[in-house]
Structure 1
Amino acid sequence: MTAKTDVSADYLRSTWRFLASVKLTVVLLPCIAGLSVIGTVIPQNAEPQEYIRLFGGFGYRVMLLLDIVDMYASWWFTGLLMLLVVNIIVCSIERLKVSGKIIFTKHPKFDLDSFRKRKNRCTLNMGDTPAGVEKRYKEIVGRQFRFCRVVPLDSGFAITAERGLWTRLGVYAVHLSIVVLLLGALIGAQFGFQGFVTLVEGDQANTISLEKANHNKVLPFHIRCDEFEVQFYKGGRRPKTFRSSLTILEQGQEVLRKDIRVNDPLRFKGIGIYQSTYGLLEPGMATQAPPMTDAPDTLSVSLRSKASGMVYTREASIGQPLQIPEGLGSLAIERFEPNAKFRGMELGPAMIATLIDPAGNTQSITMPFRFPRFDAMRGGKVVIAIADKVSKPAKERYYTG
């Protein structure tokens, strides 16, 4: 029984020393920073087809096994953050054992030998008796410092004083703030959710598409978009700022109104509603795409060159390559998607195609029937859309997301 107890005690002491090691912190911080780069370089929570196109079938299976497709919520990244949190807490406890004796003492010790060796000390002659000097300066120093006492010496006395001991707690306040931030990130990754919903001016919704799952989430309230406004820089269509006027409704009653912008969200019942994107909606176009279950035999495709501004219309069908004018490459329509998604946003019926540039590089693009200007966000040399839905609007209407 004693041997087992000793082994357990040694194991606990070894584990504690390991967690209290600053070397562990030095190893963990670069590891977490380096691994975070993976989550920046590799798209997170994208569609499986996108991963297979970029990394192949085997690479996609490896990323699924290692949870790289959702890295920041993966078990191993969460484990590293938890280990860092425990390491910071244990290190702080160990250091506080020593510094606590200094911070919380009622009679702080003063090292006179250390003081005499300092270069910034000053020596002067006083025209008074030792008793007079002691009385006068003890009173002066006592008004400025919390701890003050007279230390008798062989050749006289010393007046020692100290204040600001609590400032030594600053490092622990920093450690605590880091722990709170890390715990908040962990709790948000495990128990929070991120979703997306698009609203046309005047529409309302209470169902969002989750980014990390192939299903929707119903909110305990409705979100209504009363108005959307976008301002562009002069001489182009580059957005300067865009704003959504939102109203929160519960049981049909308005409970909150707020204008949201990028980085200025609306918060209600612990849920943050952020301005993420916007798009141009065709006038007279229904807010819900008409139901489509089968791919059309042929399509009229609009090809707009950004260099010349010319718009070309070509007939296309699934599986038949289409040459793009002005030597901008070719387009191959792959399949019909009855309910396409992009970063959690429901696009409705869409055609999925592969764009091949003149150098032979391929890129998967989505052409929604509901949002004919959707491809403009890609920023390519050619903007591709279903021409059947393209028309010059008399008045621009937007959707917000």
Structure 2
Amino acid sequence: MKTANPFWKFFCSVQLTIVLLLSLAATSIIGTLIPQNQNPEAYIQAYGAFRYQLLNVLGLLDMYHSWWFQGLMMLLTINIVVCSIDRLQGSWKLIFNRHPIVRPERFSKRADARTLNDKRDVDDLVRVYEPLITHRYRHCQVIRNDDGAVIYGEKGRLSRLGVYIVHLSVICLILGGLVGSFFGFEAFVTIPEGEATDVVRIRNTGALHRLDFQIRCDDFNLTLYKNGAPKEYRSTLTILEGGKPVLQKDIIVNDPLRYRGINIFQSSYGQLPPEQVSRPAAPAPGPADSYTLSFTSKSSGMSYTRSVKVGMPVDIPEGLGQFLLVGYEANAVFRGMAVGAALKGLLTPPGGQAVEVLLPLKFANFDKMRGGAVVISVIGSPEMPGPAAKPAEPRYYTGLQVTRDPGVGLVYFGFVMMIAGCFVTFYLSHQQVCIVLERRQKTSRVILAGVTNRNKLAMQNVIEKIFGTMTKA
């Protein structure tokens, strides 16, 4: 009935499975050739503005989160489910039938059946041979008829479900990835020492996301090799709920802090300007921690002055978007040219993607070269002339990667199921053995044979051992 349904017939097709797998393989190759989730400037520099826009529209810059890739994964999931159900219908009675029908001729006519003649009566042979089968096989039954008797043994029916367990594991892996893609996020945030925030910026889109708790950087420690290269950087983080600390942990690369399904990884770090550290770090920063930026609208010609701090986004007037100050770099380089101390930020236009902005402190009109609807310039910073600051220890900010993947539990379950399914599929088998006893005039004819759905060589060895025991019994 179901196979006559065009929808069912389409999704039950093995050809569809091949097409989907080849499509996923081809797109995955494209995903390795085109770097994923890079900054727009990197793509524009590599491919040009037109090709960047084309690749962005086609979803090839964040391929694994694109609608068409997720659609292929959904089609593959439906295809696997339908194929599994269709094939399980034919195996269901064989696997779960409590009273299987035994056909002696299926065994006695096999070319590899072993035969012997015995002078004992059929009933006597049943009493001798039945314990041999019962010892090896969980299910054993004796069927008597006018011509003699049949001793039937069977085990490993459930091993036929191994392939369906593998199918289920693949479905769990795909669904876990889709759940993480739809309901999870990957974001980043920079937090100066002693400060806290609950706002992170989503990767790629640049959209702001507010967490249900705050992350505070209590301390940052940097260890260097003798040649000056970073050896280890460690952040002491505290999770705050309602202003009260609930969890504290030191994190390093590949050793994240996990809280309420959120993973916080150590990703990067940076040093704050020297004058910004002229006073001890405190959870509540003062005016010296801020920069004064000018935002000039090209359409109206109006300039707006705003005070910004690292990690705290500000809205630009006239609906020109948002600006997030990412950090400070003492010796910035722009297209191979040293520009000195500079601020790094992200500008997110309305409905657009975040653009990285470099603001050298010595060149007020530097951002005019970028283009766009707004020009940003630094008009006040700790490095600009002002009162002399007292020497102080360097103060850093920590760069954190913040992720949430609600589908990771399904993925782990899928891996466990796949290991179990592969073990059942490759190491267990459905074995059936039958001893056919036929009455003759003065003797009884004994026929021994067995069948299995896989590993036939092992089954032949089992038959040889049973037959050797029978000849001695």
TM-score, normalised by the number of residues in structure 1? 0.66
Match of 1:331 among 310, 327, 337: 337
Contact 1:289–1:348 (8 Å) recurs in 2: no
Structure 2: 5+ residue stretches without partners? 278-284, 297-329, 362-377, 386-390, 401-473
Counterparts in 2 of 1:108 and 1:341: CA distance versus 1, 3 Å: farther
Mean Cα deviation higher: 44-53 or 182-191: 44-53
Match of 2:309 in 1: none
Match of 1:272 in 2: 263
Tell me, what secondary structure is at the counterpart of 2:46? Answer: helix
Tell me, what secondary structure is at the counterpart of 2:291? Answer: coil
Larger radius of gyration: 2
Deviation (angstroms), 1:85: 0.7
Does 1:133 pair with 2:142?
no
Structure 1: 5+ residue stretches without partners? 1-8, 296-312, 319-328, 353-368, 370-385
The amino acid that maps onto 1:331 is: M
Q: Per-residue CA shift, 1:307-342, capped at 9, x if unaligned? A: xxxxxx99x9x9xxxxxxxxxx96397xx9873479
Match of 1:399 in 2: 398
Mean Cα deviation higher: 141-150 or 282-291: 282-291
Tell me, what secondary structure is at the counterpart of 2:213? Answer: strand
Q: Per-residue CA shift, 1:237-290, capped at 9, x if unaligned? A: 254x54433221100111123343444433322222223233455655458552
Match of 1:35 in 2: 27
Q: Work out the percentage of aligned pairs sharing the same amino acid.
A: 39
Q: Per-residue CA shift, 1:17-66, capped at 9, x if unaligned? A: 12111221122112112212333332334443333222223212322321
The amino acid that maps onto 1:198 is: T
Counterparts in 2 of 1:78 and 1:260: CA distance versus 1, 3 Å: same
Does 1:181 pair with 2:173?
yes
**Comparing both chains, which one has the higher relative contact order based on Cα–Cα distances under 8 Å and sequence gaps of 6 or more?**
2
Matches within 5 A, 1:168-247: 168-229=160-221, 237=229, 239=231, 241-247=232-238
Deviation (angstroms), 1:221: 0.4
Match of 2:7 among 3, 15, 22: 15
Match of 1:107 among 99, 113, 117: 99
Contact 2:3–2:9 (8 Å) recurs in 1: no
Counterparts in 2 of 1:277 and 1:75: CA distance versus 1, 3 Å: same
Deviation (angstroms), 1:400: 3.6
The amino acid that maps onto 1:43 is: P
Contact 1:39–1:71 (8 Å) recurs in 2: yes
Q: Per-residue CA shift, 1:152-204, capped at 9, x if unaligned? A: 47764331111221122222222112112211211222222211012233332
Match of 1:252 among 238, 243, 251: 243
Contact 1:292–1:349 (8 Å) recurs in 2: no
Output the CA distance in 1 between the equivalents of 2:249 and 2:106. 62
TM-score, normalised by the number of residues in structure 2? 0.57
Q: Per-residue CA shift, 1:183-232, capped at 9, x if unaligned? A: 12112222222110122333321111111323311111001223444556
Deviation (angstroms), 1:135: 2.3
The amino acid that maps onto 2:265 is: Y
The amino acid that maps onto 1:339 is: G
Output the CA distance in 2 between the equivalents of 1:10 and 1:98. 13
C-alpha RMSD of matched pairs (Å): 4.3
The alignment of Structure 1 onto Structure 2 pairs a total of residues equal to: 325
Does 1:76 pair with 2:68?
yes
Tell me, what secondary structure is at the counterpart of 1:198? Answer: strand
Output the CA distance in 2 between the equivalents of 1:57 and 1:202. 41
The amino acid that maps onto 2:263 is: G
Output the CA distance in 2 between the equivalents of 1:111 and 1:351. 88
